Amino acid sequence: MTINGHKRMRLVRAGIDTYQQPVVYMHRDCDICRAEGFTALTRVLVCSGGRELVATLNVVTGDWLGPDVAALSDEAWAALQPEPDAWAVFGHPDPAASTQALRAKVFGQRLSDSDLLGLMRDTVDDRLSDIELAAFVTACAGERLDHEETIGLTRAMVAVGQRIDWGGGAVLDKHCVGGLPGNRTTPIIVAIVAAAGHRIPKTSSRAITSPAGTADTMEVMTPVALDLATMRRVVEREGGCIAWGGNVRLSPADDILIRIERPLDFDSDGQLVASVLSKKIAAGSSHVLIDMPVGATAKVRSRQSADSLEARTMITARVLGLTAAVVRTDGRQPVGHGIGPALEARDVLQVLRGDANAPADLRERSLHLAGALLDIAPGAVPGHGRARARELLDNGAALRKFMAICHAQGGFSEPVMAPHAQPVLAMRGGRLWDVDNRRLARVAKLAGAPRAAGAGIDCRTRLGAQVRAGEPLFQVHAHSRGELQYALEYTAEHPDIFSIEDR
């Protein structure tokens, strides 16, 4: 590749986390910036030690960086891996090969499989800026990806990442579309399905905008940052695992697109289906259950939206050789009692241990979904899965399998709750008829979740319950009094998180 710039600059580590986006920092008085015409947000080619990287330029105007030094963000440093005291040359990168396809999609044209493959290659190679990726995400929003494009995008995401080969036989998996606080069925389902003798290597995400992801909840109890070799060893030994997917990067293009999509908050069935199924295919799954909560403040908000998403999911799965089933679940209110890593982990353990205080809704939802997954496994007798799941949960086999998986992943720890707690009281009496899931999740985040694992909410009030004024609606847990106060002030500002009326 031709490099226009010829001057070198010494590289240092900036010590700045830019979350998946490689960034290079240069002083505004730098000779290379002047010679090459580099300005803020310019895409810059960085070459050092036989490696090259395309990064976004941030211009420094203060005195923390000299004009003869370039600093790399943590992401850029990890990608380039420069030697100590390394130098680099800088220039303008060649235009991304997929730019024409991106422009075509922006103007409403249909993309071929080769177009989509080129876009995903340039995405993982950092050839496209965040602005260009945002344009692609926007152009695909709504219904602007048809079924064939959805299939092509899924294939492309798989092609530019690595895949796990588990050998012969079925590999089961489960995914939740999301949007529902406390819906922590995955650890229970994995334990049940693995106890039934099936393979279920589950990779899960950490929270990005929610109070807890499955990986955050599991990390309270056992290590989840497993590399591929460790993950394989755990699965070969116990039949299942629950690992953080970010450590194996099975669909890196999807990880990047999710980073772009989150702040935009666009709904795109095509990208959602491609995101979910590309990760399942990359993980080596053959049989997949999709949990789709439907509710006004869940991710899928209406029956019509659920119909559309389910149809697209099933068509794409069938074409790509996956056996799939979609189960619609109640998305009107949180699941379980806890919202936040340790509180959700407590709920999971109570269900697995058969504790009398275990949240009944989490137990029943887990049995329902585990049974549906067992029903699509090879050789299953349809309709018998739930009874088998209940048997494995009630006789302790699921608990024993869960503990064995935890010990294989590195050991087990009991969850610990945050030390400060205070209830939020009902301002009026009446019947609870609606819950704003998003604002309730916001309270848990203000209390410190998921960064503070013991923080969050303990919520035991359910739709239809008769509430008296002054009774606790939920309890906020926090590691500091300041965070507790922030969360309580938010509840005071939004008294409609729980809608209570005389109806």
Catalytic residues: 267
Q: What Cα–Cα distance (Å) separates residue 154 from each residue in 195, 237, 429?
A: 31, 31, 50
CB 61 within 8 A of CB 30: no
Residue that has been written with the tokens 């090969």 in this structure: 97
Ramachandran region, residue 495 (left: φ > 0; alpha: ψ -120 to 50; beta: rest): alpha
Ramachandran region, residue 135 (left: φ > 0; alpha: ψ -120 to 50; beta: rest): alpha
CA dist 241 and 352 (Å) reads 16
CB 313 within 8 A of CB 331: no
Helix (H) or strand (E) holding 475: strand 472-478
Write the single-letter amino acid at 278. S
CA dist 156 and 274 (Å) reads 9
Write the single-letter amino acid at 350. Q
Residue that has been written with the tokens 């990806």 in this structure: 145
Write the single-letter amino acid at 313. T
Across the strands, what pairs with 376?
none
Q: What Cα–Cα distance (Å) separates residue 207 from each residue in 213, 244, 500?
A: 4, 11, 30
Under DSSP, the state recorded for 425 is E
Q: What Cα–Cα distance (Å) separates residue 1 from each residue in 31, 49, 328, 329?
A: 22, 15, 51, 52
Long-range contacts of 405-408 (CB under 8 A, 24+ apart): 405/190, 405/191, 405/194, 405/222, 405/234, 405/238, 405/240, 405/241, 405/242, 406/221, 406/222, 407/222, 408/233, 408/234, 408/237, 408/238, 408/241
Residues in the chain: 503
Under DSSP, the state recorded for 268 is B
Distance of CA 51 to the CA centre of its chain: 30
CA dist 149 and 143 (Å) reads 11
